[in-house]
Amino acid sequence: MFYIYCPYCGEHREEEEFHPKGEAHIVRPEDPETCSDEEWGDYLFFRNNPRGIHHEMWVHAVGCRKFFNITRNTATYAILETYRMGEAPSITAESRDDRASLDAPAETETAENQEGVRA
Amino acid sequence: MSNTVDDKIKTFDTRTTSRVPVESPLTYSYRRSGAPAPGKGSGAVLRERPFLGHLVLRGGAIVLDEALRAVLDISLPGEPQALVVDASGERSVQWISPDEWLLIVPGGEEFELENRLRGALGDAHFAITNVGGGQTVIDLEGDAASELLMKSVVYDVHPHHFPVGKGVTTVFAKTSVILRRPTETRWELVVRRSFADYIYRWLLDAGEEYAIGVER
Amino acid sequence: MSQPNRLARGGRLDRSRELSFTFNGQSYRGYPGDTLASALLANGVDIVNRSFKYSRPRGIVAAGAEEPNAVVQLGSTEAAQVPNVRATQQALFEGLEARSTNGWPNVQRDLMGVIGKLGGQFMPPGFYYKTFMAPASMWMTYEKYIRKSAGLGRSPMEKDPDSYDHVNRHCDVLVIGAGPAGLSAALAAGRSGALVILADEQEEMGGSLLDSRELLDERPAEQWAAAALEELAGLDNVLLLPRTTANGYHDHNFVTLHERRTEHLGETAPQAGGRRQVRSRLHRVRAGRVVLATGAHERPLVYGNNDVPGNLQAGAVSSYIRRYGVVPGNKLVLSTSNDHAYRAALDWAESGREVVAIADARPEPAGELVEQARAKGIRIIPGAAVLEARGQNRVTGARVARVDLEGFRVAGEAESLECDTIASSGGYSPVIHLASHTGARPTWRDDILGFVPNLVEGVLAAGGAQGVYATSDVLADGWSSGARAAGETGFDALEAQLPHVEARHESGSVALYQVPHEKPTLRGPKQFVDLQNDVTAAAIEVATREGFESIEHVKRYTAMGFGTDQGKLGNINGMAIAARCLGRSIPEVGTTVFRPNYTPVTFGAVVGRHCRELFDPERYTAMHQWHVEHGAEFEDVGQWKRPWYFPRRVEGRMESMHEAVARECRAVREKVGILDASTLGKIDIQGPDAREFLGRVYTNKWAKLAPGRVRYGLMCKDDGMVMDDGTTSCLGENHFLMTTSTGGAATVLEWLEVWHQTEWPELEVYFNSVTDHWATMTVTGPEARKLLAEITDIDLDREAFKFMDWREGMVADVPARVFRISFTGELAYEINVQANYALHVWETLFAHGEKYDLTPYGTETMHVLRAEKGFIIAGQDTDGSVTPEDLGMYWAIGYDKPFSWIGKRALTRPDTARTDRKQLVGLKPRNPEVVLEEGAQIVFDPDHAIPMPMKGHVTSSYYSPTLDSGFALAVVKGGQQRMGETVYLPMADGQVHEAEIVSPIFVDPKGERQNV
C-alpha cells in the first residue's frame, strides 16, 4: 500500500486516493496524420516494463484530480520522487547508472535474492 | 429565474420561489433507516445541513481571490487543504485543487453570488458551476467523532495533522467525501447526493458503539 | 475434575475462580489467565491433534504463535465456528468449546493413523505432484480426499452474529512486540512526545519478561514490565494495543494489525452498555518508523520421533511453569546446544519434579545457568544429544548418546533414559517474518546462528528480532531503536534510562539442527522438521537427491513452511538439513521468505464493515423512494440502483418480467412512458476553448452547433475504438453540457482531464461534474407533448422546439432545462431539474399523466426500445474492439475536421481498415419465438466440423412487442456486406438457431416518430 506524495496537495496521501495511469512521458505525436503505421503503433501500444527505475503517470483521483508523475523502483516499490505534469524527472535509470560503480554488486545481489517464490 | 450574463455562458437559477415540496439527500435515509435521537451518552451526533448554496470555482488563484474579496469579503485560501470560514460561520471557501475551490453559502444566495462573481471576474479565464442540488453537508460532533472518522476515512484526522481550518477530499469507506474541520468541535462532510444514503448508513453502523444520534 | 499438572501456586492466574471448558467434547477446568493450551496441559491432555500427512498423534510444543500442532476449531454453535486458532494464543473463557481440526473419527482413535502408517510410504515428498499428477480429471476426487483427511478447520455455515471493523491510524513510531525490547523502545519514543502505537499479540504485554528468572533494578522482571506499561498507559501520545498481531508489513510502512477485542471474553462479543461491541478490528497503520521488536522463536532440535506428545521447546516449558503454573510432565530430559535452555531444567526442578538429565551438545558447558543446574545436582551429559524419543501417544523415554557434530555421527553408545517429557533447544531464530514481507532477504549470522532481517527504509529491528538476546542488551537495543525512530520522525529522545540487569556469564552455543542417528536419515525413525506440514529430515534429503537444490524448490517440493505455519519452527532446521545434504553452508543455501499473514486472520476482520448492506455503495436517484413504493425491481448499473421494470398486479397475480416489459414498451410506443434517467453522467464544460476541445475528443463535428441545440457525440480512444457516447448541448458559445453513459461518467470526466492536463493545457476550458446536481426524467411517447404542456410554460410547438433542441422554463413550478432528444425513437423530452425538487416534478407529472396512462418504465424496456432503433449501448454493443465504422456510424465521423481528433489516425491502420472486421448488424431469428442469447457465437456453416470458425456474436437480444418477435443486435465479420444472409447460432444444448442479417434499425428507420 503506497504512500504517495502528491505534488499538488503538498503532502503524502494513501494509495487508495490514487489511480495509476501507465507509463509517463508518452507524448501524442504532433501530427498523427504524417505518422507511419509503425510510429503510430509504437505510440499506442508499446510501453517499457523495466525492472528498476520507471516513470509512471498517476492521478490523485480522490483528491485534487490532478495528474502527475512518479519515479518508482519497480523492484523495491520505493517511490524516489513525484513531480508535476510538464516537469522532468530528476532521477532516471541513466542517472542511477552513474552511481552504479559504487553499489553495483549490492544491486545485483539484491535482484538475485528477490527472485523466487513465497509460501 | 434565468439570466444570461452574455451569450457565451448560460447561467441558470435552479431554485424556485414557488412553494413546492423539496427533499434533501437524506430525506429518503431518514425514512428508510430512521434517525436515532441523540442522548446523554451519545459520543457522536450527526446533523444534515441541507439546501445550502454550493458553487465550484475554477480558475487562477489571484483573480479568484480578488473577485471573492470584492464580492464576499472572504479571501481565497491559496494553500493546499486550507478552509476559510467567514465571521458568521455561514460562508466558507475551501481549496480543492490548485485551480479549484468550493464555496458554500446559505441556500438562496448562490445564484446572485455567481452573477456578481462573474461580473467581477470579467474576461478572466474561469468557470463557476452550481452543484448545490448534487451535494449536502453532514455535521459530525462529539467526543467520539474523530474515532468514528478513523473507522471511515483513510486520511489522518489526528488533531496534530488535521487542525481547524483544514479540509481534504479523501476516501470514505468505498466512496469519497470532502472532509473539513471548521471548528475545534465540529467536522463537516460534504457528500454527493447519490452516495448520501450509503454514507449515512455507514455512519450509523460504525457509530453504534458510540451511541450515535441524529439531530433533525 | 482435577488438574494434575497444575502447580499449587505460581503463574499469572486468577485462582479465585475456575473456568470450565470442553475439548473434543470432554469437560475440563482452568483459570482466568490460562490459554487453552496451558489449561489442556494442566489437565494432562497429551494429544491435541493428528498430523497432516501421517496422521500421527501430536501434542503441544510451544507456548506462543509458533505452535504448529495445537491448531483448533472453536465454537459451540454453527454460527460461532472459528477455524485455525492456535490453542497457545486463545485465552480461556467460561464455556469455551474447542475441537481438534484433524483426526477422524477422533484424535485418540484415528482411522487415518492406520492408513498414515502404511500410506506414509506412498506419500513421499512432492506427493501432490507425483501421486496426483494424472489423470488430471481425478484431481477433484483426490483433493476432496486430501482435504477431508488433512483438514485445517472449516468455515461456519451460518451467519456470523458479530461485527468487525477497520480503523485507519497514523503514527510516528509503531513498535511491534511488547517484550523487553518493545517496552524499552516504546518508552524511549513515548517520552520524546512522538505518537506511538505499541502492539503485542499476547493476552498480556511483557513478552519474555513475564516468565523471566532475571531481576531488573533488583525487582522481578515482571514488575519492571508492569511499571513500564503503567507509564506508557499514562502517556496521551501512546496507544497500547494488546491482543493485537501485526500480521502484514506492506509497502511504505503500512502495517495491518489484527486486534482481537473480545475473543478472550467469549465466542461471540458480549454487549457493553447495552451496545454491540466490535469483536475484532483491523488497524490499518501508516507509521513514520516501524520498530520490529518481535523477539525470537526457539528452534527445537530435529531428532527421531521428535513429534510424539511430550516433546516441547525448552522455552515453552519455562513459560508454562512460570507464567501459567503448569508443569507439563513429571520426568524431564533436556537436549540443548546452549545455556538459555537450562532455564527449563531449573524451573522444572524448582517446581518439584524430576529432571532426569540434560544432554548438552557442547563438550564443556560452563555458563552460569549450567553451574546452577550442577548445583542442584542435575545430571549433565556433555557432548550429547537426544537421538530419539520413545513412546506412541506420549514420550516414555529418550535415547541419549554422545554426538560428533562435525562428522554428523553418533560418537558413543546410546543410553536409554526413562522420562515423559523431552525439552529441546537449538538456539533462537529471530522472528523476521514482518521484515521479510518487504521482499528483502535476511542475512545469516554465524555468531548467533540465525538469520537477521535486512531492513528497508523506515524499519528498525530491536532485541531478539535482531539476534540480541541478553536482557540488558535487549533493553538497551530497544531504547536506542525507539530513540532513533523518534528522532527520525522529528522528536528528540531523552537520555536513556535503563534498569540495571546483573550481567550473566554465558558459555557459547554450538550449531546443532538435526541430531545424527545411528541409522541413516532415510532409514532411521522420522525426524520432523515442520510438524504442521509433516515434513521430515528424510523428505528434505530426498528432495535434494532428486535434484532440488534451490531452497525455494525444496520448500515447494516438501511443503515445508507452507500455509498457516509459515516456517516459524522448522524453516532454519530445514535449510540447515538441505545445506548439509548439498554440502553447502546455510547462507549459500539461502532462506525462503515469508508472506503475510503472520498468523491466521478471520475473514470478519479482513472484511470489516464492508459486508451485507454496506458491502458496496448503493447510489440512489432523487426519485428512489417513489420507485421503491411503486414496486420497482432494481438493476445494478455500476453502483447505481436503477428501476429495471415495474411489475403490476394483474388479475390477482404479479406480472412476470416479460409481461411487464411488454406492457411498458407498448405504453411508450402507443401512449407515454417515463424513465428516471438521472444516472446519466453530466459534465458542465465552460471556457473559450470548450468547442475546440469537444472537436478533439468527439469523432464528429462541433464547430457549428448553435446555442439551444443538442448533438449526439461518439468518443473513441486513440486506438480508434469506441469508448463512450452521449449527447452534448450547447448552452452558450463557451458553455456546453455533456452527458455520458451511466457507467462511463467518472471515466469520461477523467478522460477529458487527462487530455487537458497532459496534452493540451493551453486550451482554456474547465470540466465539472454535475451528475448529482440534476435529476433527469424522460417523458416519451406520442402523448408526451400533451402531457408536458399541461405543466410547463415552455413553448412546445414542434417548430419552436424541434427535435435536438433544448429549452429552459418552468416545469411544475420548478426551473427546468428540457432537452428534446430521444433514446426510444418516440417523441421525447428529457426534463432536468435540481435534484432536491425532482420528486415533486415526478409526482406532478403522474398527477397529470393519469389520463394519458403515463407508465413508468425501467432499464429493460429502455434497452428493448433503443435496440429496436439500433441505438448502441457503449460497453454492451461495443467492447473496446469496435470502431465507429464497425458500427456503421459513418455519419458521426468527421473525416475532414482540421484537428486529428482522438481515434482518427487509428482508423487507417491496416488492422482497423480491414473489411472483414466484426460489424454491427441486426439479427432476425427465423423463428420469431426465439430470443437469442446475448453472447451467443455466430457461424456461417452449421455443418462445419468442431471447432467451427466463429464469425461474430450477439451483443443485445430481446423480445419486441412491437415486432412480436425476438430480435438482436450482433457483430458479424463483414456484416455490413452480408445483409439478407443467413447465419447460425449453435447452442450448448445442441440446438442451432437460424437468423437473418438485417439492418440494425428495426422500427421506424426514417426516424419520423421522434420528429413529430
Q: What pLDDT digit, counting tens, does each position of C599-620 carry? A: 889 999 999 999 999 999 999 9
Least confidently predicted of C132-136, C248-252, C339-343, C676-680: C132-136
Q: What angle do CA C322, C325, C328 make, to 5 degrees?
A: 95
pLDDT reported for residue A119: 37
What are the φ and ψ backbone dihedral angles of C54, each rounded to 5 degrees? Answer: -95, -5
C331, C418 contact by CB (below 8 A)? yes
User: What CATH number is given for C915-1012 in this structure?
Assistant: 2.40.30.110
pLDDT reported for residue A38: 95
CB contact under 8 Å between C254 and A44, yes or no, is no
Residue whose entry in the numeric block shows the C-alpha cell 407529472: C845
pLDDT reported for residue C763: 98
Q: What average pLDDT does the segment C511-521 reach?
A: 96
CB contact under 8 Å between C563 and A119, yes or no, is yes
C625 touches chain A (CB under 8 A): no
Q: How confident is the model at residue A106 (pLDDT cuts 50, 70, 90)?
A: very low
Retrieve residue B193's grid coordinates: 447526493
Measured between CB atoms, which of C609, C775, C834 is closest to B206? C609
Retrieve residue C647's grid coordinates: 411489475
pLDDT reported for residue C493: 81
CA distance B98 to chain C (A): 12
Is the confidence at residue A102, as pLDDT, over 60? Answer: no
Q: Which residue, among B15, B19, B20, B169, would best test binding to C if mutated, counting the most C CBs under 10 Å from its CB?
A: B20
Can you tell me whether residue C97 is helix, strand or coil?
A: strand
Measured between CB atoms, which of C165, C195, C813 is closest to B16? C813
CB contact under 8 Å between A44 and C563, yes or no, is no
Q: Please state the CATH superfamily assignment of the domain spanning residues C163-296+431-488 in this structure.
A: FAD/NAD(P)-binding domain (3.50.50.60)
CB contact under 8 Å between C833 and B151, yes or no, is no
Q: How confident is the model at residue C623 (pLDDT cuts 50, 70, 90)?
A: very high
B56, B128 contact by CB (below 8 A)? yes
CA distance A47 to chain C (A): 15
Task: Output the average pLDDT for chain C.
Answer: 93
Q: What average pLDDT does the segment C359-381 reach?
A: 97
Q: 10 Å Cβ neighbour count for C505?
A: 11
pLDDT reported for residue C151: 47
Q: What is the pLDDT of residues C40-68, one digit of tens each?
A: 999 999 999 988 788 899 999 999 999 99
Strands (E), chain A: 3-6, 11-14, 19-23, 53-59, 67-73, 79-84
CB contact under 8 Å between C773 and B131, yes or no, is yes
pLDDT reported for residue C137: 58
Residues of A in contact with B171 (CB under 8 A): 14, 16-17, 62
The C-alpha atoms of residue C970 and residue C975 are separated, in whole angstroms, by 9
pLDDT reported for residue A107: 40
Is the confidence at residue B34, as pLDDT, over 60? Answer: yes
CB contact under 8 Å between B154 and C168, yes or no, is yes
ipTM: 0.97
Retrieve residue C792's grid coordinates: 410547463
CB contact under 8 Å between A14 and B80, yes or no, is no
Residues 6+ apart with CB under 8 A from B191: B25, B135, B136, B137, B138, B172, B177, B178, B199
Helix (H) or strand (E) holding B90: none
Q: What average pLDDT does the segment C661-681 reach?
A: 98
Q: What average pLDDT does the segment C382-409 reach?
A: 97
Is the confidence at residue B110, as pLDDT, over 90? Answer: yes
Q: How confident is the model at residue C164 (pLDDT cuts 50, 70, 90)?
A: very high
A2 touches chain B (CB under 8 A): no
What residues form DSSP beta bridges with C208?
none
Q: How confident is the model at residue C180 (pLDDT cuts 50, 70, 90)?
A: very high
Retrieve residue C987's grid coordinates: 447452442
CB contact under 8 Å between A118 and C900, yes or no, is no
* pTM for the whole structure: 0.94
User: What CATH number is given for C19-150 in this structure?
Assistant: 3.10.20.440
Instruction: Give the distance from CA C272 to its chain's centroid.
Output: 30
Kindly list the distances between the CA atom of residue C319 and the CA atoms of A29, A49, C47, C183, C212, in Å, as whole numbers in the listed order.
70, 52, 20, 19, 9
Residue whose entry in the numeric block shows the C-alpha cell 507509564: C231
Q: Where are the alpha helices (DSSP H) in chain A?
A: 37-45, 93-98, 100-113
DSSP assignment string, C965-991: EEEEEEEEETGGG-TT-EEEEE-TTS-
Instruction: Give the distance from CA C923 to its chain's centroid.
Output: 44
Q: What average pLDDT does the segment C571-590 reach?
A: 92
The C-alpha atoms of residue C875 and residue C868 are separated, in whole angstroms, by 18
pLDDT reported for residue C135: 55
pLDDT reported for residue B4: 45
Is the confidence at residue C486, as pLDDT, over 50? Answer: yes
Task: Output the average pLDDT for chain B.
Answer: 95
Q: What is the pLDDT of residues B125-138, one digit of tens each?
A: 999 999 999 999 99
pLDDT reported for residue C563: 74
Q: Please state the CATH superfamily assignment of the domain spanning residues C520-598 in this structure.
A: BFD-like [2Fe-2S]-binding domain (1.10.10.1100)
Could you tell me which chains touch chain B, where touching means 3 or more CB pairs under 8 A?
A: A, C
Q: How confident is the model at residue A24 (pLDDT cuts 50, 70, 90)?
A: very high
The C-alpha atoms of residue B141 and residue B133 are separated, in whole angstroms, by 24
Instruction: Give the distance from CA C817 to its chain's centroid.
Output: 46
Is the confidence at residue C139, as pLDDT, over 70? Answer: no
CA distance C286 to chain A (A): 8
C419, C332 contact by CB (below 8 A)? yes
Is the confidence at residue B85, as pLDDT, over 60? Answer: yes
Q: 10 Å Cβ neighbour count for C254?
A: 18
For residue A10, which of B83, B80, B168, B82 has the smallest C-alpha distance? B80
Is the confidence at residue C132, as pLDDT, over 90? Answer: no
Is the confidence at residue C110, as pLDDT, over 70? Answer: no
Is the confidence at residue C317, as pLDDT, over 50? Answer: yes
C30, C13 contact by CB (below 8 A)? no
Q: How confident is the model at residue C261 (pLDDT cuts 50, 70, 90)?
A: very high
C439, C454 contact by CB (below 8 A)? no
Can you tell me whether residue C68 is helix, strand or coil?
A: coil
pLDDT reported for residue C564: 75
CB contact under 8 Å between B16 and C835, yes or no, is no
Q: Which residue, among B170, B174, B192, would best test binding to A if mutated, counting the most A CBs under 10 Å from its CB?
A: B170
Retrieve residue C66's grid coordinates: 509458533
Q: Using the Cα atoms of residue B189, residue B195, residue B200 and residue B203 in order, give the sign of their dihedral.
A: negative
Q: What average pLDDT does the segment C973-984 reach?
A: 97
For residue C82, which of C144, C26, C149, C152 has the smallest C-alpha distance? C152
Same fold, C163-296+431-488 and C300-426: yes
CA distance B99 to chain A (A): 9
Helix (H) or strand (E) holding B114: helix B110-121
Q: Which residue, among A14, A60, A85, would best test binding to B if mutated, counting the most B CBs under 10 Å from its CB?
A: A14
The C-alpha atoms of residue C62 and residue C59 are separated, in whole angstroms, by 9
Task: Establish, for the pair of chains B and C, how many residue pairs have beta carbons separated by less than 8 Å.
Answer: 181
Helix (H) or strand (E) holding C434: helix C433-437
Percent composition of chain C: helix, strand, coil (DSSP 3-state, to 5)? 25, 30, 45
Least confidently predicted of C562-566, C899-903, C969-973: C562-566
What residues form DSSP beta bridges with C714?
C725
Residues of B in contact with A64 (CB under 8 A): 80, 96-98, 100, 169
Q: What average pLDDT does the segment A34-63 reach?
A: 96
C784, C792 contact by CB (below 8 A)? no
Residues of B in contact with A9 (CB under 8 A): 80-81, 168
Q: How confident is the model at residue C154 (pLDDT cuts 50, 70, 90)?
A: confident
Instruction: For B168, name the nearest residue in chain A, comparing CA atoms only.
Output: A63
Domains of chain B, start order: 27-215 (3.30.1360.120)
What residues form DSSP beta bridges with C739?
C682
Domain ranges of chain C: 19-150, 163-296+431-488, 300-426, 520-598, 915-1012
The C-alpha atoms of residue C246 and residue C258 are separated, in whole angstroms, by 6
The C-alpha atoms of residue C622 and residue C620 are separated, in whole angstroms, by 7
A5 touches chain B (CB under 8 A): no
Can you tell me whether residue C358 is helix, strand or coil?
A: strand
pLDDT reported for residue C593: 78
Is the confidence at residue A103, as pLDDT, over 50? Answer: no
Q: 10 Å Cβ neighbour count for C979?
A: 12
CATH match of A3-91 with 3.30.2270.10: yes
Percentage, residues of chain B above pLDDT 90: 97
CA distance B162 to chain A (A): 12
Q: What average pLDDT does the segment C707-733 reach?
A: 97
What residues form DSSP beta bridges with C425?
C336
Retrieve residue B89's grid coordinates: 460561520
For residue C549, which of C574, C587, C527, C579 has the smallest C-alpha distance? C579
For residue C290, which of C476, C492, C495, C462 has the smallest C-alpha distance? C462
Is the confidence at residue C881, as pLDDT, over 60? Answer: yes
Retrieve residue C583's grid coordinates: 554440502
Q: How confident is the model at residue C899 (pLDDT cuts 50, 70, 90)?
A: very high
User: What CATH number is given for C300-426 in this structure?
Assistant: 3.50.50.60
Is the confidence at residue C115, as pLDDT, over 80? Answer: no
